[in-house]
Amino acid sequence: MKKFLYVIAVMLGLPIAALAQKSNVTYTITESSSTFIEPTPVIVTTPLIADVTIIGEKITYVEPDALKIFPINDFKQLPQLRSVVVARAIRAHNADLIIGVSFDMETTAQGELKVTVTGFPAKYTNFHNASYEEMRTVALAKMAVNDEEKNILEGEDPVIIKKQ
């Protein structure tokens, strides 16, 4: 009986296996990937240098009641007040900046804050593209301000841009 069942199973299994092998199915897999690169605007500017020319004698500008033009709530706002007074002094003397600025602030008997600005009025002149030597000078000045005199004394070139 076992042989009989075995023979029947083989007889039924062979045609099914043959049919399975006759069917030819082809699968095509297509894979795609893309990368989106966002265009980024890049602005490269050439370093610009200007000379500063003193345009007159030492000036004194007095703002008799500085709190009227820039009211302050506490002493932390004094730097902003000084900036406003310097801007008014620059405008009054038709200058671009004041060199060697010094401030004198005093409170009057009427409770007003009198601010006196002294310095030399100056204008920017001779605008031009910076040369390698000028860029190196600016970099050396920045290093000196940042307490990096050691590199300057050792003669290291602080400028990343190499001379062509």
Residue 123, domain member (yes or no): yes
- Please state the pTM of the whole predicted model: 0.56
Question: Whole-angstrom Cα distance, residue 93 to residue 82?
Answer: 17
Residue 83, domain member (yes or no): yes
Average pLDDT on 33-46 reads: 76
Pairing state between β 59-63 and 48-54: unpaired
Question: Whole-angstrom Cα distance, residue 139 to residue 4?
Answer: 100
Residue 21, domain member (yes or no): no
Residue 15, domain member (yes or no): no
Task: Look at residue 108 and give its three-state secondary structure.
Answer: coil
pLDDT tens readout for residues 101-156 = 998 888 888 888 889 999 999 999 999 998 888 888 888 887 776 655 555 555 55
Per-residue pLDDT, 79: 86
Task: Tell me, yes or no, whether 62 and 119 share the same domain.
Answer: yes
Average pLDDT on 64-77 reads: 82
Q: By residue range, what is the domain housing residue 155?
A: 130-164
Number of domains in the chain: 2
Task: Tell me, yes or no, whether 72 and 123 share the same domain.
Answer: yes
Residue 23, domain member (yes or no): no
The CATH number for 111's domain is 3.30.110
